Amino acid sequence: MISQNIVAIGGGGFGRSLGNLKIEKYIVSLVNKKVPKICFIPTASGDNDLYKLNFYRAFSKLNCETSHIDFFSRTEELEEKILSQDIVYVGGGNTKSMLAVWRDWNLNLILKKAYENGIVMSGVSAGAICWFEKGITDSYAKSLEILNCLGFVKGIACPHFDEEKEREPYVNDLIKRDFINSCICIEGYSALHINKNGFKTINFGDNKKCFKLYKENNNILKKFF
């Protein structure tokens, strides 16, 4: 049976600081190869050059064969590139714009094929929520919004849950008003590893957590992963 893995990071990692690369090492450990191939997709940041440089610095230290995909300069043949990887890592930024670009290039379909083939999907913030049916995004300047995402994983996800003060009240209000049934919340410096066994929290900060928020008897409850 093909092993399918998603690592959804709530915040932190090489984009902020190279640090001890704890979460990056965890992602690489999911591939049983001496030199895994990993591709960075920084679309949500507009293919930011410094972000790409930090990616190469981080994963080169972990004995990976590194590459990236640009959409705002000449774009290579996507299916051939993605399906030759062991790991895909999606950077943070504007989720709505990222998904619009991907869909225009049919990258959403290619990523689904890669995931089904056992290529590890991973990413932070925009690169965390994109794998779910829906995500809570700050792509809009004035308010948080619910955004339709790729749908590899059922449910609604929210990154940066403890890092950005508006997120918790926004999600609580949606649940209280029965606008959504529940939300998968991923704190900064934590990640949610999703595979056939379910959901597992990876804490790479100071006791950071992932959990599901839901309503029962008019109370908002947490189920920790």
Is residue 1 domain-resident?
no
Amino acid identity of 45?
Answer: S
Pair type for strands 132-137 and 145-148: antiparallel
**Options 125, 139, 190, 193, the catalytic residue:** 125
Question: What are the E-state strand segments in the chain?
Answer: 6-9, 37-41, 65-68, 87-90, 120-124, 132-137, 145-148, 153-158, 182-186, 190-195, 198-203, 210-216, 219-224
Q: How many domains does the chain have?
A: 1
**Structure tokens that stand for 218 in this block:** 């008019």
The pTM of the full predicted model, rounded to 2 decimals, is 0.97
The helix (run of H) or strand (run of E) holding residue 144 is none
Q: Is the pLDDT of residue 16 over 90?
A: no
Examine residue 31 and state whether it is found in any structural domain, yes or no. yes
CA pair distance 104, 188, nearest whole angstrom: 30
Catalytic residue among 45, 122, 139, 160: 160
Check pLDDT > 80 for residue 1.
no
- pLDDT bin (cut points 50, 70, 90) of residue 2 is confident
- Token pair 């056939």 is found at 196
Main-chain phi, psi angles of 56, to 5 degrees: -65, -40
Distance separating alpha carbons of residues 12 and 189, to the nearest angstrom = 5
Using 50, 70 and 90 to split pLDDT, how confident is the model at 61?
very high
CA 136 to CA 126: how far, in whole Å?
9
Domain membership of residue 80 as a residue range:
6-224
pLDDT digits (tens, 9 = 90+) for 131-141: 999 999 999 98
Does residue 184 sit within a domain? yes
Say whether 160 is catalytic.
yes
What are residue 211's DSSP bridge partners? 185, 224
pLDDT digits (tens, 9 = 90+) for 97-128: 999 999 999 999 999 999 999 999 999 999 99
* Neighbour order of strands in the sheet with 210-216: 145-148, 132-137, 153-158, 182-186, 210-216, 219-224
Q: Provide the CATH number for the domain around residue 205.
A: 3.40.50.880
DSSP letters along 10-63, please? -S-STTT--TT-HHHHHHHHTS--SS-EEEEE-GGGTS-HHHHHHHHHHHHTTT
> Model confidence at 19, in pLDDT bands (50, 70, 90)?
confident
Which is it for strands 153-158 and 182-186: parallel, antiparallel or unpaired? parallel
